[in-house]
């Protein structure tokens, strides 16, 4: 076999270029199983390289299994099976509409780049070398200490740094908790509706989820009576997705239920920092630190790109969680130390103050436009968090078709049906509008596009006419 067409990449050394060209020719099927290769002398002459280069390349590919060298005969192509790589399609969720109001993301154009850079710079300048090694899976003590102080001050959370575990966002925290409960009764109660992703995380871990209704005062605690569950997952500060705040009466009754049934409350405090009409309401954990597993995240307050969150675990559960944490936990030490610095330097408080004011203004713009121009929607008026929930008043409007039509106009919104345990029979009808997500320079155009799509997809007329 004298004639072998090979293109050697001039940016690589000759031997590496020859190996790469031969590997590619075999993988692509251009050189087929059993095909004999030219002698090293012949190929060296053809390519204008030294014979030792060819001998070395053949030797390397023989060692890797691409070639077979039999004594006394030509080197041949080995039989290899190259599986086809199926093109991977991103989940439809990752398609970003131009006017993106899907809830869940903060204003990424407002990431505090300069302050964060300052924190990272200080960490890299001052940190001892051991920081770049493996670390305590519970998280760096500097961050656990900062978080205990910060959450005590801003969320009324009662925590010792030893009770804090740093995780990669709430999603990972829930996975660790699921590991524990799956070894007990295997049943966890959830609010219905709730974030579908969290239901999926619990189910993926093998848990049975038991939906519990939510009304204007938050989770219906009476509906928990008689349920044989290990824990209940709640969003007391700002129910996801309805937006309600768990009432004081329900808080007390939920804690009493958990104590009397020896059940754990998992508090997902994902956006508790954002309240616009008054000071944020303290975390439920402050009322019952012995019964509530508190979970917070940097995803709304700063950025989901950091993948940082924290769990504060009561003594009674910490031993059981330890195994999972020690095997699976761990977040970037550099980012953990940067967050500790960010908190201690006051940058987090400043950022939250700025963002509260930005979000208050953005929310007001959307709520005013909806009230003035879309009579068939009714905003559930809880001035908190990063999304607005609006009920569909007109029974003739198909929520799913509305969301699909909006997507067709490059406007991203989400319907309430997908948040229900039984999507086909939702108890609440409406849409979620994440007002934090569109970038500032496109915000006005995005609101115009949103209002237009809503007006075009519903009836004209006053609220009273539509209700009747
Ligand atoms: C209800 C709820 N909890 C928690 C989170 C945060 O999850 P993570 O910390 O994994 O980013 C979100 C994000 O959208 C959320 O909607």
Domain limits, the chain: 14-77, 94-104+350-467, 112-345
Q: Is the peptide bond before 241 cis (omega within 30 degrees of 0)?
A: yes
CA 172 to CA 132: how far, in whole Å?
23
pLDDT over 80 at 85, yes or no: no
Strand order across the beta sheet in which 187-192 lies: 164-167, 309-312, 292-297, 264-268, 231-234, 187-192, 208-215, 218-219
Q: Would 14-77 and 112-345 be classified into the same CATH topology?
A: no
Q: How far apart are CA 455 and CA 87, in angstroms?
A: 39
Distance 299 CA to ligand 1 centre (A): 7
Fold of 14-77: Arc Repressor Mutant, subunit A (1.10.10)
Q: Does pTM top 0.75 for this prediction? A: yes
Q: Please determine, for residue 6, whether its predicted confidence score (pLDDT) is greater than 60.
A: yes
Taking the CA of residue 104 as reference, the ligand 1 atom at the shortest distance is 14
364-395 pLDDT, tens digit each: 999 999 999 999 999 997 899 999 999 999 99
**Spacing, Cα 76 to ligand 1 middle (Å):** 56
- Identify the pLDDT of residue 324: 85
- Each residue of 397-446: pLDDT tens digit? 999 999 999 999 999 999 999 999 999 999 999 999 999 999 999 999 99
61 close to 19: Cβ distance less than 8 angstroms: yes
Looking from the CA of residue 298, the nearest atom of ligand 1 is: 9
Structure tokens at 235: 């969003």
Compute, in angstroms, the gap from residue 354 CA to the centroid of ligand 1.
21
Helix (H, G, I), strand (E, B) or coil at 412: strand
CA of residue 171 to ligand 1 center, whole Å: 7
Q: Distance (Å, rounded) from C-alpha 251 to C-alpha 235? A: 11
Going by CA atoms, what residue is nearest to atom 3 of ligand 1?
270
Tens-place pLDDT, residues 133-156 = 999 999 999 999 999 999 999 999
Q: Give CA–CA dist 160/11, Å, rounded.
A: 57
Backbone angles phi and psi of 291, in degrees to 5: -120, -20
Q: What is the pLDDT of residue 92?
A: 65
Helices first, then strands: H and E counts in the chain: 15, 16
Task: From the CA of 194, give the closest atom in ligand 1.
Answer: 1
Q: Which fold has domain 94-104+350-467?
A: 3.90.1150
Substitution candidate for ligand 1 out of 103, 107, 169, 170 with most atoms within 8 A of CB: 170
What spacing in Å lies between the alpha carbon of 104 and ligand 1's midpoint?
Answer: 7
Interacting residues of 419 by C-beta distance below 8 A, sequence separation 6+: 193, 194, 195, 196, 240, 241, 426
Q: How far is CA 138 from CA 91, 162, 167, 269, 316, in A?
A: 32, 9, 8, 19, 17
Residues 6+ apart with CB under 8 A from 403: 413, 414, 415, 431
**Predicted confidence band at 29 (pLDDT cuts at 50, 70, 90)?**
confident
Confidence tier at 2 by pLDDT (50, 70, 90) = low
By CB atoms closer than 10 A (0-12, 13-18, 19+), residue 443 is buried
Nearest Cα residue to atom 5 of ligand 1: 270
CA 396 from chain center: how many Å? Answer: 34
Rounded distance from Cα 174 to ligand 1 centre (Å): 10
**Rounded distance between C-alpha atoms, residue 137 and residue 165, angstroms:** 8
By alpha-carbon position, which residue is closest to atom 16 of ligand 1? 104
pLDDT band at 464 (very low <50, low <70, confident <90, very high): confident
User: Token match 């958990």: residue?
Assistant: 258
Atom of ligand 1 nearest to the CA of 174: 10
The neighbouring-strand residues paired with 188 are 209, 231
pLDDT digits (tens, 9 = 90+) for 322-341: 888 888 778 999 999 999 99
Distance 68 CA to ligand 1 centre (A): 54
Ligand 1 centre and the CA of 412: distance in Å?
A: 18
Q: How far is the CA of 321 from the centre of ligand 1 (A)?
A: 21
> 69, 78, 101: which is closest to 25 by C-alpha?
78
Residue 103: count of CB within 10 angstroms of its CB: 24
Cα(227) to ligand 1 centroid in Å equals: 26
pLDDT at 468: 65
Task: For a ligand 1 pocket test, name from 107, 239, 293, 297 the mutation site with the most ligand atoms within 8 angstroms of its C-beta.
Answer: 297
The answer to whether the CB of 106 falls within 8 A of the CB of 421 is no
Structure tokens at 219: 């989770």
Please state the rounded mean pLDDT for residues 348-356. 98
Contact between 287 and 251 under an 8 Å Cβ cutoff? The reply is: yes
Written in H, E and C, the secondary structure of 111-161 is CCHHHHHHHHHHHHHHCCHHHHCCCCCCCCHHHHHHHHHHHHHHHCCCCCH
In this prediction, residue 93 carries a pLDDT of 66
Residues 110, 156: Cα–Cα separation, whole Å = 27
Confidence of residue 462 (pLDDT cuts 50, 70, 90): confident
Q: pLDDT class for 89, splitting at 50, 70, 90?
A: confident
Residue nearest to atom 14 of ligand 1 (CA): 104
- State in Å: Cα 427 to ligand 1 middle: 22
User: Which protein residues touch ligand 1 with a CB less than 6 Å away?
Assistant: 104, 169-171, 195, 235, 240, 268, 270, 297, 299, 304, 309
Tell me the best of 169, 272, 299 to mutate to test the pocket of ligand 1, counting ligand atoms within 8 Å of each CB and taking the most. 299
Fold of 112-345: 3.40.640
Percent of the chain predicted with pLDDT > 70: 99
Whether 251 and 236 have beta carbons less than 8 Å apart is answered as: yes
């Amino acid at each position: 076999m004298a004639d072998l067409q090979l293109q050697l990449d001039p940016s690589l050394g000759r031997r590496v270029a020859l190996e790469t060209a031969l590997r590619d020719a075999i993988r692509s099927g251009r050189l087929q199983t059993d095909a004999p290769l030219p002698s090293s002398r012949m190929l060296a002459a053809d390519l204008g390289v030294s014979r030792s280069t060819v001998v070395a390349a053949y030797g390397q590919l023989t060692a890797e299994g691409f070639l077979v060298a039999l004594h006394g005969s030509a080197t041949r192509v080995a039989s290899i099976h190259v599986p086809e790589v199926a093109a991977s399609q991103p989940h439809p969720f990752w398609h970003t509409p131009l006017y993106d109001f899907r809830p869940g993301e903060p204003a990424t154009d407002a990431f505090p780049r300069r302050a964060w850079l300052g924190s990272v710079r200080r960490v890299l300048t001052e940190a001892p070398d051991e920081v770049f090694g493996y670390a305590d899976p519970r998280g760096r003590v500097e961050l656990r200490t900062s978080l205990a102080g910060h959450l005590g001050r801003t969320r009324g959370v009662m925590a010792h740094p030893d009770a804090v575990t740093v995780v990669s966002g709430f999603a990972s925290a829930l996975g660790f908790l699921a590991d524990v409960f799956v070894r007990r009764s295997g049943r966890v109660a959830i609010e219905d509706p709730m974030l579908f992703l969290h239901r999926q995380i619990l189910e993926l871990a093998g848990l049975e989820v038991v939906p519990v209704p939510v009304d204007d005062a938050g989770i219906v605690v009476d509906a928990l009576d008689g349920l044989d569950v290990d824990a209940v997952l709640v969003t007391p500060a700002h129910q996801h997705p309805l937006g309600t705040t768990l009432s004081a009466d329900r808080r007390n009754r939920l804690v009493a239920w958990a104590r009397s049934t020896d059940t754990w409350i998992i508090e997902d405090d994902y956006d508790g920092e954002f309240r616009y009409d008054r000071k944020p309401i303290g975390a439920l954990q402050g009322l019952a630190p012995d019964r509530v597993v508190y979970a917070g995240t940097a995803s709304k307050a700063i950025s989901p790109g950091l993948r940082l969150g924290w769990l504060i675990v009561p003594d009674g559960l910490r031993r059981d969680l330890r195994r999972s944490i020690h095997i699976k936990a761990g977040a970037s030490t550099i980012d953990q130390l940067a967050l500790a610095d960010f908190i201690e330097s006051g940058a987090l408080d400043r950022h939250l103050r700025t963002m509260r004011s930005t979000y208050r203004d953005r929310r007001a713009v959307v709520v005013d436009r909806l009230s003035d121009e879309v009579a068939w929607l009714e905003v559930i008026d809880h001035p908190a968090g990063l999304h607005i929930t609006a009920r569909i008043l007109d029974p003739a409007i198909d929520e799913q078709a509305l969301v699909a039509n909006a997507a067709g106009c490059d406007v991203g919104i989400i319907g309430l049906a997908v948040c229900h345990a039984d999507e086909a029979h939702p108890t609440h009808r409406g849409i979620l509008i994440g007002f934090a997500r569109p970038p500032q320079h496109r915000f006005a155009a995005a609101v115009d596009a949103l209002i237009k799509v809503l007006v075009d997809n519903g009836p004209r007329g006053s609220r009273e006419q539509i209700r009747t």
